[in-house]
Amino acid sequence: MEQGTHGELLARLAEMLGTATTTHPLRVAIDGPPAAGKTTLADELAVVLRAQGREVIRATIEGFLFPRAQRYRRGEYSPEGCYFDSHDHDTLCRVLLDPLGPGGDRRFRQAVYDRATDTELSLPITTASPDAVLLFDGVFLLRPELVDRWDLRIFMSVAFERTLDRARARGRALAGSVADAAEIERAWRNRYIPSQQLYFATAGPTDHADIIVNNDELQGPAWEVRPHR
């Protein structure tokens, strides 16, 4: 296990991505529980790679959600609904992961859904260069339906209570009411944490990760690089 600053982690990951060799765009999963720091890491890593002249495709599981009515058909706080009903994996593979993978034509769409409006997106098809990097962040990315679609798998490991603390802080920054704090607590306790526990029990995501980042301390992460599988 290595430990260092957040900047040192970024440099280490950029170095690994720079030396990874594939005959198609490199598909990188950045997985982990909500509020683990996945989006921040992906965005910052994209900046580093682009500064090195690499083409980066940024996408997120939020762009492949099912409509709200389907996501919450088992109830607003159902962990099973969160895990089984939230994400359109078939479309994700069809329009993004498979076109960028072995034998793909590199013609992709990076999102199909707009969460703010709960409507379908019709983005134009884009063609990636052969040496492009897809940085894809989200929850449940190492489940059986997706695990073999990635060329590099990063898992952001954070204690569940720590993610709740971060969600509370984020909620205070955005709204700040007692009601909002209570809603965040309820959603975390009833939906998000149990859905992650279900994920760990059924998919064992850390068993499939090439890199595990302990991100409990944002400015002092620790990471383990495993032999590529």
Kindly state whether residue 85 falls inside one of the protein's structural domains.
yes
Kindly state whether residue 223 falls inside one of the protein's structural domains.
no
pLDDT score, position 131 = 95
Residue pLDDT, tens place only, 143-178 = 999 999 999 999 999 999 999 999 888 876 665 554
Buried b (16+ CB within 10 A) or exposed e, 74-106: eeeebbebbbebbbbbeebbebbbbbbbeebee
Q: Could you list the residue range(s) of the whole structural domain that residue 153 is in?
A: 2-213
148 vs 29, 57, 202, CA distance in Å?
11, 19, 16
pLDDT score, position 97 = 98
Buried b (16+ CB within 10 A) or exposed e, 129-161: eeebbbbbbbbbbbbeebbebbbbbbbbbbebe
3 state DSSP class of 184:
helix
Kindly state whether residue 228 falls inside one of the protein's structural domains.
no
pLDDT score, position 180 = 79
Question: Are β-strands 2-3 and 222-225 bridged in parallel, bridged antiparallel, or unpaired?
Answer: antiparallel
pLDDT above 80: residue 229: no
How many independent structural domains does the chain possess?
1
pLDDT above 80: residue 227: no
pLDDT score, position 175 = 54
Q: CA–CA separation, 1 vs 12, rounded Å?
A: 13
- Give the pLDDT band of residue 7 (cuts 50, 70, 90): very high
CATH of the domain at 187: 3.40.50.300
- Give the pLDDT band of residue 183 (cuts 50, 70, 90): confident
pLDDT average, residue stretch 72-89: 97
Contact 24, 13 (CB under 8 A): no
* Geometric angle at alpha carbon 130, from 125 and 133, rounded to 5°: 80
pLDDT above 60: residue 21: yes
Kindly state whether residue 67 falls inside one of the protein's structural domains.
yes
Kindly state whether residue 218 falls inside one of the protein's structural domains.
no
Residue pLDDT, tens place only, 115-139 = 999 999 999 999 999 999 999 999 9
Kindly state whether residue 167 falls inside one of the protein's structural domains.
yes
Mean pLDDT of the chain: 94
Kindly state whether residue 227 falls inside one of the protein's structural domains.
no
Kindly state whether residue 157 falls inside one of the protein's structural domains.
yes
CA nearest 26: which of 110, 96, 105, 131? 131
Looking at 62-71, 165-174, 188-197, which range is the least confident one?
Answer: 165-174
